[in-house]
Amino acid sequence: MSLQLSEPIGVLAEGDISFLKIVCSDIRFEIGEILIIKPPTGKKMYMFRIMNYENILRNIQDLSAIAANFLKNREAYIARVESEKLVKVHGLLMGYSELDADSNTWIFKKPRSLPPHFSAVHRGADCPEALELLLEKEIGQDLEIGKLLIGTKTLDLPIKIDIESLPMHVQVAGTTGAGKSFFMLTFITSALKNNIVRFVKQEEMKKRVSVFMIDVHDEYMRGLRHEDKRYGLIDIANATIKSGNEVYDSIFADKFYLTRDLSGVSKEMQKFAQPIRIRREDLSVSDITSVMTVTDQMLGYMSMKAVTNVDWVTAIEKESEAEVTSFVKGTISAVKRRLYPITRSSIFTSDKYSDLAEIVYNIERGCFYNFSTALLSSSEQFIVITMLARTLLSIRQSLLSSTKWSQFKDQVYQRLPKTIASELLGDNPSSKFSLKELYTADKDGSDYRMKTIDKLPVIMLTIEEAPSILGAQMSKEGNVFIDISRQGRKFNIGMLLITQNISSMEHIILANTNTELNLMLGNEIEIRQAIINASNNIAGYEHEFKVLSRGEAIFTNSLRNIPLPVKVSNVPLYIENELPFFTNPYQKLNVKKAREKTKAPIL
């Protein structure tokens, strides 16, 4: 496969397996640009990333003397100097792409050899088609997050996260205004589009992505603004309704916008909204201890009440200090203070109704939820996401250890509180959301065979203000997020961690996070931590971090050979361009639409 390269701009001068020096004609470069090095023979094409460059003059060592003479006698020197101007470029050898004869594609490899002396150098920005071919296996193929950034120039070359990377967790870091929200809404839009493509093409569930998104400021739902444009999830939902109920139902729950109450929700959003309610009975003690610090006495008291009471939270709420003599005085009062965010919250109810089974069911069939936490305390937010994460992990753990439905049921009853377990298993007469139809493959006598986890959607749980719940102070056995960080890949559950402070994150979480998008960072400490934690070697990128602008990032992934500079999409323009797809995906994908089943319209 031949590559269309631009005219050479220089030659390789010297270097080693990591750093190279290139001498070029007098060109103004930018830090972060990619150059292509073409040897005189062979099928390898090397790539080089500019980290620094300097002005030099051919055959002249002392530029200061020339500058002084130039200042005093400009006309006499100008003709001579113009012909002598060169640039010496310093940078990292990224690696090389080699043409694979069988697939006729370029395969990128880490640097194990050097290009020959005086190899020709081409500017990557001048030959984007060649650059796309050389990086084809590195830029991903599933969920778009932005475009390739070369210096300050953005190429029309999408950078994507592969779905197989998601259960290995994604970290998004950046200071206020760096572009984290633009990234998140781009990611959501791309995930929703991916799920519709899989639905329309009738592909397996395993290539779908379920997302439970925390929306702290309602900005994802209402949309993000850029200049005179504003688009968000409400626009995508309205466009998808036009494509039909079945398409809408394939990516959204009927009411996918979860909020504490409907009083503050606009009329336009109410058709997608429902107040979230969760039974206190479905809470475990670990849901509390994962997000709050408790003493051994407090833990012992809560555990005792949980053993003897289905609704242990209400039992504690009603108990007085005088009734308990087996614990240190003040323990009950201290526990009640810890439980105050639950007992005074309208979300956690002591009645028999709960949305938890419905949320879990819809997530397991590949749907998206937007959880508005604008009116919630941080404790309410963290307990909900912890409870949901524990429930999802428990049922997938049960699935992994079961081959028959009867075995699965036994496992679920052992791992989950009885009420929510019976709802998810269809044993509760009022249950509408049994996992049986999603989890079983076919009948085996009087029983059913179970599907394997790799046949189910990838689940992504977003955690805003990640250090608050995943900081070193919360590192303890029993924290469900520690368990997911270690085992998420096995259960197809990933975390999308959003933070301003990487250095405050628990090191176990960081060690198990294999995809990082680092935007502008606040200080030297955060830059150093980003470099240490990166899944690719980005030593030497310190200076580049300091010149990143809003929406610019360094993207690293353990399944990729190289870090990639990314310009996060302009969200309003990105969503605006994608709305025609959501309105009529069958036409855009050139797939004939099957006759749609009758379903009550969304009001």
Q: What is the pLDDT of residues 267-322, one digit of tens each?
A: 899 999 999 999 999 999 989 888 888 889 999 999 999 999 999 999 999 998 88
Q: Which CATH class is domain 159-276+355-572?
A: alpha beta
Which pLDDT score, from 0 to 100, does residue 554 have?
A: 95
Instruction: Please give the helix or strand (H or E) that residue 495 lies within, else none.
Output: strand 493-499
Average pLDDT over residues 96-112: 88
Pairing state between β 209-215 and 458-463: parallel
- Burial (Cβ within 10 Å: 0-12, 13-18, ≥19) of residue 302: buried
Task: List 230's β-bridge partners, or say none.
Answer: 225
Q: Give CA–CA dist 380/277, Å, rounded.
A: 12
The alpha carbon of residue 415 and the mean position of all alpha carbons in its chain are separated, in whole angstroms, by: 28
Phi, psi of 9, rounded to the nearest 5 degrees: -115, -5
What does R_g of the chain's alpha carbons equal in angstroms?
28
Q: Which residues are CB-neighbours of 177 under 8 A, at least 6 positions away?
A: 520, 550
Q: Give CA–CA dist 89/379, Å, rounded.
A: 52
Which pLDDT score, from 0 to 100, does residue 235 have?
A: 96
Q: Which residues are CB-neighbours of 594 under 8 A, at least 6 positions away?
A: none
| Angle formed by the axes of helices 378-400 and 405-415, nearest 10° | 150
Angle at 324 between CA 293 and CA 328, to 5 degrees: 50
Task: Give the chain's largest Cα–Cα span.
Answer: 101
Tokens of 105: 């594609």
Q: Where are the alpha helices (DSSP H) in 31-145?
A: 63-72, 74-84, 128-134
* 565: number of Cβ within 10 Å: 24
pLDDT of residue 596 exceeding 60: no
Q: Which of 274, 250, 180, 211 is nearest to 582 (CA)?
A: 250
Q: What is the pLDDT of residues 528-540, one digit of tens each?
A: 999 999 999 888 8
Cβ atoms of 160 and 139 closer than 8 Å: yes
Q: How far is CA 406 from CA 395, 430, 448, in A?
A: 14, 20, 8
Number of H helices, E strands in the chain: 24, 25
Pairing state between β 120-123 and 10-15: antiparallel
Q: Give CA–CA dist 161/476, Å, rounded.
A: 31
Q: Where are the alpha helices (DSSP H) in 85-159?
A: 128-134
Q: Which of 143, 147, 141, 154 is nearest to 189 (CA)?
A: 143
Average pLDDT over residues 575-579: 95
Which pLDDT score, from 0 to 100, does residue 145 have?
A: 94
- Overall residue count recorded for the chain in this entry: 603
Segments making up each domain of the chain, as ranges: 10-137, 159-276+355-572, 282-349
Task: List 146's β-bridge partners, or say none.
Answer: 159, 568
- pLDDT tier, 603 (very low <50, low <70, confident <90, very high otherwise): very low
Average pLDDT over residues 553-569: 93
Q: What is the pLDDT of residues 371-412, one digit of tens each?
A: 999 888 888 888 999 999 999 999 999 999 999 999 999 999
pLDDT of residue 513 exceeding 90: yes
Which pLDDT score, from 0 to 100, does residue 478 have?
A: 66
Q: Give CA–CA dist 137/1, Å, rounded.
A: 15
Q: How far is CA 255 from CA 192, 213, 358, 369, in A?
A: 16, 14, 10, 8
Task: List 54's β-bridge partners, or say none.
Answer: 88
